[in-house]
C-alpha cells in the first residue's frame, strides 16, 4: 500500500510555503523520535543546523507564487538525512522517468569508483571508456558532484562515492546540474597515462539508460574468454528468474569445462542474503543452501573482485569464501553496509506524501571484506589499468605453476 501511496503519479507536484515548512518540521520531529542515539556524532547544535539549513534552502527554491516543488523538497531532505551518516535515513522518493523526453539530458558516460578514482565505465565515445575522469568544464569532478555526494546517505566516504555511482542516473536527474548544457568539456587521463581534454555532447535519457544498463541489470552476466569465466553481478534479488539465470551460468561452466571463474562484486551492495547462500552452495562444498551434488560444485579457481561498493550480503559472501579457502579476493576493502541501522521504519510526510526511511535501531558494525591482493595503480600499470588483463596474466601463471607441480 505504501508503494502505491508513494507513487509520484498520486503525489502533489507543488506545495505552499506553509505546507513545505510543515513537512520539513515533520521530517525532523519523526527522526528525533525514531532514530537511535548518538546520531553519528552529531551534536544537538549541528542537528538544529541541518533543520535550519533545510528551511533556508526551501525558501530559496520557492517559485514566484511562493510554492515549492515536491522534487525540490525531496532534494533538500536527502541532504538532511545524509547528515546523519547512517546509510539509511533518506527519502524513498524517485521521479518519474520520462525516457522519451527530448529535453531530458544526461552525461555521455557512466562512472565507477575504483582505487580512489572515478573511472569512466561506459561511454558514448569509445575513447573515454576506461579513462579516469578528472574534471567537467574545468571543475574537478569530485567538486562538480559535491552537491550530490552530500546528499548520499552513507556510513563512510568511500561508500558514499560508490553509492553515488550505483544510482548516478537518479542523482543527475534530481539535481539538474546539467540543465541547459548542450555539451560538457571533459578532462581525463587515458589508461596509458595521457591527459586529454574533449568536448562531448550530452545524451538523451534513452541513450544514458542504454549505457547504464549493465549496472542496473541484477541478473548474473557471463562472458567466457581464454578459458576464464567472467561473471558480473551488480545485485541479486532472490526470485525464480535470478535462480534460473544463476543455474544456467554454472551449467554452462560445467559444459565448457571452464577452469577459472572471476566473480565481480564491486557494484554489489544489495544482494539478498538468500541469494548469497545460493551462490555459496555452488562455490564451496558443504556450504550454502540448497546443498549441491559434488558434480554441480565449481571446482576451478575462483577470484572475487570487491571494492567500496561491495556491501551487505555480498561482502559477507566474499568473507565467507575467503575463510573457507574457496576464493582469492582482489580489489579494495569492501564498503560499509548500506543499511547501517536495522530495521528501518518508514513514515509519510503529511502534505507532499513523500515516504521517508529512518534508522530505528543500531546494530553491530558489519565486518568488512579485506582483499588478499590490493589492486593499486602501480600493480595495474603494466596492464594500463586493465583489471581483466592483470587477472588473465595471473591466472595463466598459476596454471603454469600448477602444471609444473603436477609433473
What is the per-residue DSSP string for 1-34?
A: -HHHHT-TTTS-SEEEHHHHHHHHHHHHHHHHHH
Distance CA 326, CA 138 (A): 46
* Per-residue buried b or exposed e for 169-200, using 16+ beta carbons within 10 Å of the residue's own CB: bebbbbeeebeeeeebebbbbbbeeeeeeeeb
| pLDDT, tens digit, 9 for 90 and up, residues 21-66 | 999 999 999 988 888 765 656 778 888 999 999 999 999 999 999 9
- 3-state class of 296 per DSSP? helix
Q: Which pLDDT score is estimated for 10?
A: 47
Q: What is the DSSP letter of 152?
A: S
244 pLDDT higher than 80: yes
Cα separations in angstroms, 347 against 90, 261, 353, 354, 358: 11, 44, 9, 8, 8
What is the per-residue DSSP string for 35-97?
A: S-SS-TT--HHHHHHHHHHHHHHHHHT--TTSEEEHHHHHHHHHHHHHTT-SS--EE------
Q: Which pLDDT score is estimated for 34?
A: 83
Supply the mean pLDDT for the chain: 86
353 pLDDT higher than 60: yes
Is 32 or 260 the better-scoring residue by pLDDT?
A: 260
- Mean pLDDT value of segment 319-341: 81
Q: Which pLDDT score is estimated for 4?
A: 47
Confidence band, pLDDT 50/70/90 cuts, at residue 78: very high
Q: Return the bridge partners of 242, or none.
A: none
183 pLDDT higher than 90: yes
The CATH number of 217-338 is 3.90.226.10
- Mean pLDDT value of segment 225-236: 83
CATH architecture of 105-213: Roll (2.30)
Show the cell assigned to 359. 534508522
Q: At what angle do helices 44-60 and 70-82 cross, to 10 degrees?
A: 160
- Per 3-state DSSP, what percentage of the chain is helix, strand, and coil (rounded to 5)? 40, 20, 40
Q: CB of 109 within 8 A of CB of 133? A: yes
Distance CA 209, CA 218 (A): 15
Q: Return the bridge partners of 330, or none.
A: 305, 373
Q: CB of 371 within 8 A of CB of 306? A: yes
Q: CB of 80 within 8 A of CB of 49? A: no
Show the cell assigned to 273. 542474503
- 3-state class of 112 per DSSP? strand
> In terms of DSSP bridges, do strands 301-306 and 260-264 run parallel, antiparallel, or are they unpaired?
parallel
- Domain coordinates in residue numbering, the chain: 2-91, 105-213, 217-338
Distance CA 303, CA 8 (A): 42
Peptide bond into 198 cis (omega under 30): no
Mean pLDDT highest for which of 10-19, 75-84, 369-378, 392-401?
A: 75-84
Q: CB of 286 within 8 A of CB of 298? A: no
90 pLDDT higher than 70: yes
Distance CA 300, CA 402 (A): 12
Mean pLDDT highest for which of 185-189, 225-229, 403-407?
A: 185-189
362 pLDDT higher than 80: no
Confidence band, pLDDT 50/70/90 cuts, at residue 9: very low
Is 239 or 59 the better-scoring residue by pLDDT?
A: 59
Q: Which residue has the cell 547504464?
A: 212
Show the cell assigned to 113. 569508483
Percent of the chain clearing pLDDT 90 (strictly above): 46
Distance CA 90, CA 93 (A): 9
Alpha carbon 279 to chain centroid, angstroms: 20
Show the cell assigned to 1. 500500500
Show the cell assigned to 351. 502534505
Shortest CA distance to 189 belongs to which of 109, 120, 116, 138?
A: 120
Mean pLDDT highest for which of 6-10, 28-32, 74-78?
A: 74-78
- Mean pLDDT value of segment 376-398: 88
Phi first, then psi: give them for residue 298, nearest 5 degrees.
Answer: -70, 125
195 pLDDT higher than 90: yes
Cα dihedral 262/313/146/114 (nearest 10)? -20
Distance CA 314, CA 273 (A): 8
Q: What is the DSSP letter of 371?
A: -
Amino acid at each position: 500500500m505504501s508503494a502505491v501511496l508513494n507513487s509520484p503519479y498520486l503525489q502533489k507536484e507543488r506545495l505552499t510555503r506553509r505546507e513545505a515548512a510543515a513537512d520539513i518540521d515533520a521530517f525532523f520531529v519523526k527522526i528525533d523520535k525514531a532514530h537511535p542515539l548518538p546520531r553519528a556524532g552529531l551534536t544537538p547544535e549541528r542537528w538544529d543546523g541541518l533543520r535550519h539549513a533545510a528551511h533556508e534552502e526551501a525558501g530559496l527554491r520557492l517559485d514566484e507564487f511562493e510554492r515549492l516543488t515536491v522534487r525540490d523538497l525531496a532534494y533538500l531532505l536527502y541532504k538532511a538525512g545524509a547528515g546523519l551518516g547512517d546509510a539509511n535515513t533518506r527519502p524513498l522518493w524517485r521521479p518519474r522517468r520520462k525516457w522519451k523526453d527530448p529535453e531530458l539530458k544526461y552525461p555521455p558516460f557512466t562512472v565507477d569508483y575504483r582505487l580512489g578514482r572515478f573511472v569512466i565505465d561506459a561511454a558514448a565515445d569509445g575513447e573515454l571508456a576506461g579513462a579516469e575522469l578528472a574534471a567537467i568544464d574545468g571543475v574537478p569532478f569530485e567538486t562538480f558532484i559535491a552537491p550530490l555526494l552530500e546528499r548520499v546517505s552513507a556510513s563512510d566516504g568511500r561508500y558514499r562515492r560508490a553509492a553515488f555511482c550505483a544510482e548516478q542516473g537518479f542523482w543527475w536527474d534530481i539535481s539538474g546540474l546539467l540543465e541547459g548544457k548542450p555539451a560538457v568539456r571533459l578532462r581525463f587521463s587515458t589508461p596509458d597515462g595521457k591527459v586529454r581534454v574533449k568536448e562531448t555532447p550530452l545524451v538523451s535519457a534513452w541513450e544514458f539508460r542504454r549505457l547504464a544498463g549493465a549496472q542496473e541489470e541484477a541478473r548474473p552476466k557471463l562472458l567466457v574468454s581464454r578459458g576464464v569465466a567472467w561473471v558480473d553481478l551488480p545485485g541479486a534479488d532472490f526470485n525464480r528468474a535470478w535462480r534460473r539465470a544463476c543455474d544456467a551460468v554454472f551449467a554452462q561452466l560445467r559444459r565448457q569445462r571452464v577452469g577459472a571463474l572471476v566473480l565481480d562484486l564491486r557494484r554489489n551492495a544489495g544482494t539478498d542474503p538468500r541469494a548469497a547462500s545460493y551462490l555459496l552452495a555452488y562455490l564451496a562444498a558443504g556450504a550454502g543452501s540448497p546443498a549441491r551434488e559434488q558434480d554441480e560444485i565449481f571446482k576451478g579457481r575462483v577470484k572475487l573482485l570487491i571494492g567500496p561498493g561491495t556491501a551487505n550480503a555480498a561482502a559477507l559472501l566474499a568473507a565467507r569464501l575467503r575463510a573457507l579457502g574457496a576464493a582469492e579476493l582482489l580489489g579494495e576493502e569492501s564498503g560499509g553496509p548500506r543499511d547501517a541501522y536495522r530495521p528501518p521504519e518508514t513514515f509519510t510526510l503529511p502534505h507532499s506524501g513523500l515516504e521517508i526511511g529512518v534508522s530505528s535501531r543500531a546494530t553491530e558494525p558489519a565486518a568488512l571484506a579485506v582483499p588478499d591482493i590490493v589492486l593499486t595503480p602501480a600493480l595495474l600499470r603494466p596492464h594500463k589499468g586493465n583489471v581483466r588483463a592483470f587477472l588473465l596474466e595471473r591466472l595463466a601463471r598459476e596454471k603454469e605453476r600448477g602444471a609444473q607441480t603436477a609433473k
